[in-house]
Amino acid sequence: MDLITPKRRRLHSTPFDGVGTSARNVLYIPLKIIRFEINESVLHLGKKMLTFQADYIDKNGVRYHRPVMTESFTLINTISGTESELPHYTKIIRKRDGYFYFVKLNDIEKSQLINI
> In the structure, what pLDDT confidence band is assigned to residue 9 with cuts at 50, 70 and 90?
low
Task: Tell how far CA 21 is from the center of its chain.
Answer: 8
Do 54 and 62 form a contact (C-beta atoms < 8 A)?
A: no
Cis before 87 (ω within 30): yes
What is the value of pTM for the model shown? 0.83
Beta bridge partner(s), residue 35? 53
Each domain of the chain, given as residue ranges in start order, spans: 21-114
Q: In this predicted model, what pLDDT tens digit does every residue of 24-80 receive, in sequence order?
A: 999 999 999 999 999 988 788 889 999 999 999 988 888 999 999 999 999 999 999
Cα–Cα distance for residue pair 82/20, rounded to 1 Å: 22
Please state the rounded mean pLDDT for residues 83-88: 91
41 CB burial (10 A radius; 0-12, 13-18, 19+):
middle
Rounded to 5 degrees, φ, ψ at 76 are -65, -45
